[in-house]
């Protein structure tokens, strides 16, 4: 792809994503949910999770691996435990269905969890946890994927990029939101660097022959490494357990065994936990946490996690999008239209 870009408004980004998905077999509810997720990513400056993902979403629809008309089913296992069957659909609509009862239960009982199964998750994680913190709750979620990451000291992949997201509510302020891969870099970012011809930091991954390299295209063919050596590796292991057996789903290597990644995003599980800090602590924690973050923000060079995304939201203007990507999505939209 070229480096040329064009400017699209957030409304145009949403419309492009939604109409492309509709033309390829997604129904109104699923297309709207995915388009909203993609637009949020572009709005917040996370281009690796924005329109960049639409061709991948569409590959899944075209292959029939993903059900574009799926309606998630939620089971209340106990008053605080929910199990959600995504019915082999994409995750954004599943979140719209399962988060409201999860939030209600956590606000009533202090905490609640949901196990999502049979879901094709292909987006960032912060929208889920941020929604919980907007309701005054702590949010935590994890998801695994395909084995692209080797454990510390190894060269054979067994972990997914295994992201996790955490959010903390702040009354009258933006929540603190952490969203991070346990790999040294998210695969989407590596793929964009490969597309645009940029080098990545040494330690991001290994080439197909097992050598350290800064060539993103070589890493895409090779293997990613965990961030922080054995510490990131340990967190990746935790995510595998939380997002696999705990929620009744597969480890990343098991996902690969049952899934053809070239036909779109893999099917797997997601763990989501919501906690009420007021109920668990027995007091209002707002003043205490505000004092902490005042001290934190006063440290020169420090930046609260999630602050960049919240700052980007203040700009409601157009976003710069890779021109070839837009052409690709427009062509997919045209190809899928029934005349």
Residues involved in catalysis: 48-49, 189
CB atoms under 10 Å from CB of 311, counted, come to 13
Token duo for residue 142: 């994890």
Token duo for residue 212: 């350290």
Backbone angles phi, psi at 135, to 5 degrees: -95, 10
Token duo for residue 40: 């949020």
295 CB burial (10 A radius; 0-12, 13-18, 19+): exposed
51 CB burial (10 A radius; 0-12, 13-18, 19+): buried
Supply angle C-alpha 97, 36, 256, rounded to 5: 70
Residue 227: name the closest of 218, 239, 215, 217 by CA.
239
């Amino acid at each position: 792809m070229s480096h040329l870009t064009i400017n699209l408004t957030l409304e145009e980004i949403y419309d492009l994503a939604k109409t492309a998905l509709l033309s390829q077999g997604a129904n109104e509810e699923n297309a709207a949910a995915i388009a909203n997720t993609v637009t949020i990513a572009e709005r917040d400056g996370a281009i690796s999770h924005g329109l960049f993902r639409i061709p991948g979403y569409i590959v899944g629809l075209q292959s029939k691996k993903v059900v574009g008309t799926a309606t998630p089913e939620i089971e209340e296992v106990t008053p605080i435990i929910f199990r959600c069957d995504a019915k082999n659909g994409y995750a954004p609509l599943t979140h719209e269905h399962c988060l409201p009862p999860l939030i209600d239960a956590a606000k009533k009982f202090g905490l609640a969890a949901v196990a999502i199964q049979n879901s094709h998750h292909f987006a960032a994680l912060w929208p889920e946890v941020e929604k919980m913190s907007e309701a005054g709750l702590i949010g935590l979620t994890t998801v695994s994927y395909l084995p692209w990451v080797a454990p510390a000291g190894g060269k054979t992949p067994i972990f997914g990029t295994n992201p996790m997201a955490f959010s903390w509510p702040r009354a009258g302020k933006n929540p603190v939101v952490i969203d991070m891969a346990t790999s040294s870099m998210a695969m989407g970012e590596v793929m964009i660097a490969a597309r645009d011809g940029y080098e990545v930091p040494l330690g991001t991954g290994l080439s197909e022959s097992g050598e350290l390299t800064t060539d993103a295209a070589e890493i895409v063919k090779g293997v990613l490494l965990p961030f922080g050596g054995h510490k990131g590796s340990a967190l990746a292991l935790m995510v595998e357990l939380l997002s696999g057996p705990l929620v009744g789903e597969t480890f990343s290597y098991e996902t690969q065994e049952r899934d053809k990644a070239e036909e779109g995003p893999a099917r797997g599980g997601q763990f989501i936990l919501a906690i009420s800090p007021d109920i668990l602590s027995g007091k209002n924690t707002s003043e205490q946490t505000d004092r902490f973050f005042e001290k934190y923000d006063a440290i020169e060079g420090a930046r609260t996690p999630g602050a960049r995304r919240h700052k980007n939201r203040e700009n409601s203007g157009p976003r710069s999008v890779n021109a070839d990507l837009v052409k690709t999505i427009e062509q997919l939209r045209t190809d899928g239209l029934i005349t």
